Structure 1
């Protein structure tokens, strides 16, 4: 789905990155990610933009199962801390076990940004490394190339072009 959104509205929306390298009980990674989007939408989180699925090698160990990644834009009245708590509950529901931060996993949901700034204690938003990751910025640029990073002010399209982590990431044309 390709959409253009007004910058003022983008300053309010939450950006959520999805990824997985293991399908769990689903027939494919894409089916698991589609189900995760359904779980995200089951509450006060309204998905209003969705990228295609992107493929990338596992990082930092490219011999591990490959990833599928995407991004959704979410409208919600909830504070960032509650969004993050819901994302973690969804991960757990889908079988996520947190052993090693870079281990293969059934589901990884990251709150990349919510609006322009977050002042909640204990939260670091925007996500401190998302701007370096093509598998995040590429899908975001696909649906909203003019989205601006809350700190640097650079667009998603610029950040995708400059990303250094996951530089092999690309839309998975075989699955989209």
Structure 2
């Protein structure tokens, strides 16, 4: 465990991990495990890790089922540096970005950095308000925080319930537990843990 320098300002960071392709490893579980280990070697302190869950592919029919997990971290890095680290880990794992929401060996999403709203509340609301068709074809050219879809996605909120049920969304004002409780029970029924 790394020593925390009390003279610096640290943020609580939430990251979602997923994958649905095997690639060079035996299973998507290995990619998630290796990504967490690699992330732990950066300037980030991994404080908590969820179980790994099997989740249906999203959008439906876009590929094999996923495995998903989440980690909670502490760091003084700015969001842009965290994103750069996540993209580097994805790239080393063999992640390609040929089309939006394609099957992938590893997907690392920065969900939240403390209560930061990036780049501002208006841009956040623009992206959070997109309908599904626009979500499928458009990608922001800038970092949007908190993740504009996290409150809608069972594959994000179920792992977050393991590690951060009391984290409060800085725009919606709801905790992870409250967002989880608002999900469709049918969506929750399709998710189950594959690791402890």
- TM-score, normalized by length of structure 1? 0.86
Determine the structure 2 residue equivalent to 1:7.
none
Determine the structure 2 residue equivalent to 1:69.
68
Report deviation, 1:64.
1.6
Pairing of 1:141-152 with structure 2 (within 5 A)? 141-152=161-172
- Mapped to 1, the partners of 2:91 and 2:178 lie a distance apart of 33
State the superposition RMSD in angstroms.
2.1
Report deviation, 1:30.
0.9
Determine the structure 1 residue equivalent to 2:5.
none
Contact 1:149 1:156 in 2 (8 A): yes
Report deviation, 1:12.
3.0
1:10-42 deviation digits (Å, cap 9, x = unpaired): x93010000000122111111111001011111
Determine the structure 1 residue equivalent to 2:112.
113
Contact 1:80 1:118 in 2 (8 A): no
Q: Name whichever of 150-159 and 57-66 sits farther off.
A: 57-66
1:68-112 deviation digits (Å, cap 9, x = unpaired): 001000111100011011101111010000012211100000000
Higher-Rg structure is 2
User: Secondary structure at 1:167's aligned position in 2?
Assistant: helix
Change in Cα spacing, 1:60 to 1:74, as seen in structure 2 (3 Å) is: same
Larger helix percent: 2
Q: Name whichever of 12-21 and 23-32 sits farther off.
A: 23-32
Pairing of 1:14-93 with structure 2 (within 5 A)? 14-62=13-61, 64-93=63-92
Runs of 5+ consecutive residues of structure 2 not aligned to the other structure: 1-9, 121-141
Report deviation, 1:63.
6.2
- Mapped to 2, the partners of 1:136 and 1:28 lie a distance apart of 20
Alignment partner of 1:125 out of 145, 149, 154: 145
Runs of 5+ consecutive residues of structure 1 not aligned to the other structure: 1-10
- Mapped to 2, the partners of 1:110 and 1:28 lie a distance apart of 20
Report deviation, 1:156.
0.4
Contact 2:28 2:106 in 1 (8 A): no
Alignment partner of 2:193 out of 148, 169, 172: 172
- Mapped to 2, the partners of 1:111 and 1:37 lie a distance apart of 13
Determine the structure 1 residue equivalent to 2:135.
none
Determine the structure 2 residue equivalent to 1:6.
none
User: Secondary structure at 1:13's aligned position in 2?
Assistant: strand
- Report how many residues are paired: 165
